[in-house]
Amino acid sequence: EAEARIQAHLAEIKRSNAELEQFAYIASHDLREPLRQIANFVALLERRFADQLNDEAREYISFAREGAKRLDNLMLDLLEYSRVGRGEQLAPVECEIVVAAALDNLAARIAETGAEIHIAPGLPTVLGAKTHLIHLFQNLIANALKYCSPERIPEVRLSFTIDGKVVTFSVADNGIGIDPVYHDRIFGIFQRLHGREEYEGTGIGLAICRRVVDQHGGRIWVDSVPGQGSTFHFTVSLATG
Ligand code: ADP
């Protein structure tokens, strides 16, 4: 009887989880539309009425524009977070292609920071969901570029090891590092160690990474020496046959 009760509880948790995910998806999807409308009209005000606005008005409008942009980034990240839960079939995916796509999406930021990016040759083919793997690499590399002290040029190293059927990828940076106290917490949603004035962000990136890795049946963790850099590791399965 205890067993039956546990099963019923589990089913209930599953159902409410699915509902919550559906809610997050719809909310972030549908809320973007009116937000876009606000952003468009603010931009129009800024452009069309530039000569009629005084400095104070222009400043207020720019705050509105930045707020809308931040909210849109948050919605996009939430949308991505809720999408990862919606199970996808895993299939062989070439990491060469995935990593190239991630770097392509980050090209502007890489150019801006003058970062040095080193990618180990011969990236393997893994069992995965391609778009989610692109996001996983992209989030980790984006953080490696972002959490760098201003007097350093970011250096990012992507390497991997293979042990049987398990591939461990590592993304290492020479950034500000993370105190060991926070090594688990940072993978939770909305967990940030810095204010927005210091580093812009939503606190969703690593939570997405953890969901993607979970979905792939792997593990994700971080090693870091504060002040010297961090290395994020995650495991996925090698595609065989
Ligand atoms: P965001 O970058 O949007 O704040 P993330 O979920 O990607 O959110 O990261 C959570 C927190 O973990 C960040 O706010 C930052 O404090 C810390 N962090 C993530 N990646 C790194 C890194 N490579 N180096 C130092 N700190 C990091």
Q: At what angle do helices 130-146 and 205-215 cross, to 10 degrees?
A: 150
Q: d(Cα 4, Cα 6) in Å, to the nearest integer?
A: 5
pLDDT score at 96: 98
Q: Is the pLDDT of residue 24 over 70?
A: yes
Q: Is the pLDDT of residue 11 over 70?
A: yes
Query: 10 Å Cβ neighbour count for 95?
Result: 24
**Which atom of ligand 1 is found nearest the CA of 229?**
24
Within 6 A (CB) of ligand 1 lie: 139, 143-144, 147, 173, 175-178, 186, 191-194, 201-207, 230
Band (pLDDT 50/70/90 cuts) for residue 85 is low
Question: Which of 21-27's residues contact partners 24+ apart within 8 Å by CB, and which partners?
Answer: 21/82, 21/85, 21/86, 22/82, 24/78, 24/79, 24/81, 24/82, 25/79, 25/82, 25/83, 25/86, 27/78
User: Does 233 have pLDDT greater than 90?
Assistant: yes
- pLDDT for 183 equals 96
Q: Which atom of ligand 1 is nearest to the CA of 187?
A: 6
Ligand 1: centre distance to CA 131 (Å): 21
d(CA 206, ligand 1 centre) in Å: 7
The pLDDT of residue 79 is: 87
Task: Give 165 Cα–ligand 1 centroid separation in angstroms.
Answer: 29
Checking if the pLDDT of 87 tops 70, the result is: no
Give residue 18's pLDDT.
83
Q: What is the 3-state secondary structure (H, E, C) of 131-185?
A: HHHHHHHHHHHHHHHHCCCCCCCCEEEEEEEEECCEEEEEEEECCCCCCHHHCCH
Task: Report pLDDT for 21.
Answer: 79
Cβ-Cβ contacts under 8 Å for 15 (sequence gap 6 or more)? none
pTM (2 d.p.): 0.87
Are the C-beta atoms of residues 43 and 169 closer than 8 Å to each other?
no
Closest atom of ligand 1 relative to the 191 alpha carbon: 10
Ligand 1 centroid–CA 63 distance in Å is 24
Q: Within a 10 A sphere around the Cβ of 86, how many other Cβ atoms?
A: 11
What would the pLDDT profile of 178-219 be if each residue is shown by its tens digit?
Answer: 999 999 999 999 999 988 888 989 999 999 999 999 999 999
Average pLDDT, the chain: 93
- Closest-CA residue, ligand 1 atom 27, reads 147
pLDDT tops 80 at residue 241: no
Task: Give percent of the chain with pLDDT exceeding 90.
Answer: 77
- Reference 178, options 143, 207, 132; nearest CA is 143
- CA pair distance 180, 172, nearest whole angstrom: 16
pLDDT in tens, 91-134: 999 999 999 999 999 999 999 999 999 999 999 999 999 999 99
If one residue of 136, 145, 186 were mutated to test the ligand 1 pocket, choosing by the most ligand atoms within 8 A of its CB, it would be 186
Give the dihedral of Cα atoms 25, 27, 29, 30; nearest 10 deg: 150
Instruction: Determine contact, residues 207/155, Cβ cutoff 8 Å.
Output: no
Question: Among residues 224, 34, 28, 42, which one has the least CA distance to residue 143?
Answer: 224
Q: What is the pLDDT of residues 128-164, one digit of tens each?
A: 999 999 999 999 999 999 999 989 999 999 999 999 9
Nearest ligand 1 atom to alpha carbon 175:
24
Residue 240: pLDDT band by 50, 70, 90 thresholds?
confident
Q: What confidence score (pLDDT) does residue 68 get?
A: 94
